[in-house]
Amino acid sequence: MLLSQINKGTEIFAVTDHLDVYSYMDYDVFTPIRNSNAEVHRLSEIYDGKCKVLSGVEVSEVYWVPEVYKKHTFDVDLIIGSVHLVRCPEHPEPYSRIDFSQPTQDWIYSYLELYFKDVLMLLDTVDFDILAHLTCPLRYIVGKYRRSVDPARFDGEIEEILRRVIKDKKAFEINTSSFDMLNDFMPSRKIIEKYYSLGGRLISFGSDAHVPENASVNFDKAIAFAKDVGFENICYFENREVRLLRI
């Protein structure tokens, strides 16, 4: 991943492996994060001057089992907060594994309502720096299963979340992994513009790469769009402190 970033000319990137806290009973979710962070520290010395590598973690579902998460601390540059599993009694599995071709339209809307509630719960309960991929279930519902969803139904919930992110001085991620599928970012251009209009200025980019080829994918489009909206900087975090980069 680092070599791919260097080839692409990326100056700074963060490794943020998943910490899906709720899965702690199924497998050891904590040790891989510590190993990942240790590897980042090792590589950052070797590649010093070529690319700045930051250590991080993407925490999700902490609020399902806060007592488990509280027992652990991580020495990282940044923490991303996200929702991968919605507290939905019928489908508690990650939304990436739900078959959205079958449920009724009403059920899909009720699922999304629960998703936005969980994002608010995340903001209420977890100390993190960047809110990741808001509206990510749409990548599956709309992108993969081609169901139509009117996002305007959730304007109120989304505005509440954006206001909270701004008030808490958290950064708002523009996730570029959806671009090839949806011809849009996650969240959408419309939501990013709303964030700006409400006074939000802290944006970060995430390619959600998972494989080296996708490192920083579509960042050129994200930079062009962010400038068009009026953003002057993107941000990253070092030792949990925000740093700005002029774009």
Count of residues near Zn ion by CB under 5 A = 1
| CA 177 – CA 96 distance, rounded (Å) | 14
* Tokens coding 182: 């949806």
Name the DSSP letter for residue 51.
-
Select 94 or 200, whichever has its Cβ closest to Zn ion. 94
**How many Å separate Cα 238 from the centre of its chain?**
17
| CA 29 – CA 73 distance, rounded (Å) | 13
Name the DSSP letter for residue 23.
G
The stretch among 28-36, 79-87, 160-168, 229-237 that binds Zn ion (CB under 5 A) is: 79-87
**Residue recorded with tokens 């930079």:** 223
The stretch among 23-31, 77-85, 86-94, 157-165 that binds Zn ion (CB under 5 A) is: 77-85
Per-residue exposure over 206-231, b if at least 16 CB sit within 10 Å of its own CB, e if not: bbbbeeeebbbbbbeebeebbeeeeb
User: Is 82 one of the binding residues for Zn ion (CB under 5 A)?
Assistant: yes
Select 82 or 218, whichever has its Cβ closest to Zn ion. 82
Site for Zn ion in 117-156 (CB under 5 A): none
| CA 74 – CA 101 distance, rounded (Å) | 39
Select 143 or 233, whichever has its Cβ closest to Zn ion. 143
Q: How far is the CB of 176 from Zn ion (least distance, A)?
A: 13
Q: How far is the CB of 21 from Zn ion (least distance, A)?
A: 13
Select 91 or 201, whichever has its Cβ closest to Zn ion. 91
Q: How far is the CB of 246 from Zn ion (least distance, A)?
A: 27
Q: How far is the CB of 50 from Zn ion (least distance, A)?
A: 27
Select 108 or 134, whichever has its Cβ closest to Zn ion. 134
Select 23 or 82, whichever has its Cβ closest to Zn ion. 82
Q: Are 94 and 139 in contact (CB under 8 A)?
A: no
DSSP 120-134: HHHHHH---SEE--T
Question: Which of helix, strand or coil describes residue 17?
Answer: strand
Nearest Cα neighbor of 62 from 97, 40, 87, 96 is 87
Task: Tell me the residue type at 115.
Answer: Y
Task: Tell me the residue type at 128.
Answer: F
Q: How far is the CB of 186 from Zn ion (least distance, A)?
A: 10
User: Is 204 one of the binding residues for Zn ion (CB under 5 A)?
Assistant: no
* Tokens coding 219: 């960042």
Q: Are 167 and 198 in contact (CB under 8 A)?
A: no
Select 82 or 176, whichever has its Cβ closest to Zn ion. 82
The stretch among 25-33, 78-86, 110-118, 226-234 that binds Zn ion (CB under 5 A) is: 78-86
Q: How far is the CB of 127 from Zn ion (least distance, A)?
A: 18
Q: How far is the CB of 175 from Zn ion (least distance, A)?
A: 8
Binding region for Zn ion (CB under 5 A): 82
